[in-house]
Amino acid sequence: MTATTDTPRLPFDRPNVLEIAPLFEVLRRRGPVVAVTTPAGDPAWLVTGFEQVRDVFTDPRFGRSHPAPEEASALSDAAILSRPQGDHETEHAEHARMRRLLVPAFSANRIRRLAGHVQEFADGCFDAMERARHRDEPVDLHEHLSFPLPVLVICELLGVPYEDRDTFRVLSERMGRMDIGDGADAALDEFAGYMSRLAAAKRREPGQDVVSDLVRAQADDPSFGDDDVARLAAGLLFAGHETTSNRIDLGVLYLLTDLARRDALAADPEGRVHGVVEEILRLAAPSGLGVLRYAHDDVELGGVTVARGDAVILALGAANRDPAVFPAAETFDPERKPNSHVSFAYGGWFCIGASLARTELRVVFGSLLRRFPGLRLAARVDELRIRTNRVTGGVDRVPVLW
């Protein structure tokens, strides 16, 4: 597969962060799988159809590894979510092994025990918003809630000292940057080094946390080395706060750009929060890119032949707006049933942290308007800068008043 000058190049222009680029729908009308060029300038197939996205997640002929990694298309220059991962021969077995290791860490009991802490953390963030308010000046909800809350939660779960939050905030940002060249890889190495030192500390003094669980697992599996622990924990730390932070930001924007939505949730938070959170998850597409996979064999997909080694980008935001699956797909509808979105992937790739993310979002949106019933935006959505230089996208501020 070769990139050409007439294939559309990601990321596409979009009107604002609450809508996906109009070009996704134009391309979907051509077919659920079309040729595009990645931000790195490499060829790839873009999958916008809901059915085809689920097919890729469940077909073992696709994976994160590549038959010849040195020849693989890259999504971007970011150090994460952008290039092949793992060994082509052992990827699926390794993936299954890692999930088995992590299942106890994300068990229903542990998440249930953590839920009370999430509410405490959220209340502390609301207090910080109150303290930050000066007269009629806007408060940045991203700085005081959307960023710190997921950081507090993932620190608690993994056993990371919260005082190190500034360290991994900077490293996490650099790891996901698409415009700093080798700096992103250097940040990933530094992050892995930090997690390796933390694992060594947990080996001396284990606790009831994920990093301690991983260290204990090494005793039963000598092949699970320190580098494996460090990189797995670093990935969990990144994924556990970046994605949830973005969805808090976008969820607030969805609610405050339509005050009828805000007021309906404020009037019945317990009854409506579940549906509101699921629609936020379905519609939020902070990055405008997608999930990267590679074909391990020639595969017929959506009317095209994806050749062995070809890159495939699963546009989850577009799949979640597929009108063949979601009536009035662009409409924010908390009453939508069923709402079988693929925001947490699907099948064997279903996000192991989904229940934690849902817990955080339900706590936030179940209590935010109790604390700030008159919450409103202090800027237009189209005035908010989309972080196109970050693989996870999102916005860097959410100014609010109340």
Name the average pLDDT for the chain.
93
- Provide mean pLDDT across the span 61-87: 95
pTM: 0.94
**Of the ranges 2-6, 83-87, 130-134, 252-256, which is most confident?**
252-256
pLDDT range class, residue 219, cuts 50, 70, 90:
confident
Q: At residue 200, what is the residue type?
A: A
Q: Which CATH class is domain 22-401?
A: mainly alpha
Question: What was the pLDDT predicted at 3?
Answer: 64
pLDDT range class, residue 103, cuts 50, 70, 90:
confident
What are the pLDDT digits (tens) for 280-333?
A: 999 999 999 999 999 999 999 999 999 999 999 999 999 999 999 999 999 999
- Kindly state the percentage of the chain with pLDDT values over 90: 75
Question: What was the pLDDT predicted at 39?
Answer: 96
Question: What was the pLDDT predicted at 106?
Answer: 84
- In sign, the C-alpha dihedral spanning 82, 86, 92, 98 is negative
Classify strands 43-47 and 311-314 as parallel, antiparallel or unpaired.
Answer: parallel
pLDDT range class, residue 67, cuts 50, 70, 90:
very high
**264, pLDDT greater than 90:** yes
What are the pLDDT digits (tens) for 78-101?
A: 999 899 999 999 999 988 988 888
- Provide mean pLDDT across the span 210-222: 87
Question: What was the pLDDT predicted at 232?
Answer: 84
- Provide mean pLDDT across the span 174-184: 93
**102, pLDDT greater than 90:** no
Question: What was the pLDDT predicted at 300?
Answer: 98
- Provide mean pLDDT across the span 392-398: 95
What are the pLDDT digits (tens) for 107-151?
A: 888 888 888 899 999 999 999 999 999 888 999 999 999 999 999
Give dist(CA 9, CA 27) in Å, integer: 12
- In sign, the C-alpha dihedral spanning 190, 193, 197, 199 is positive
Tell me if 242 sits within 8 A of 352, measured CB to CB: no
Query: Where exactly are the structural domains of the chain?
Result: 22-401
Residue carrying structure tokens 């009107």:
15
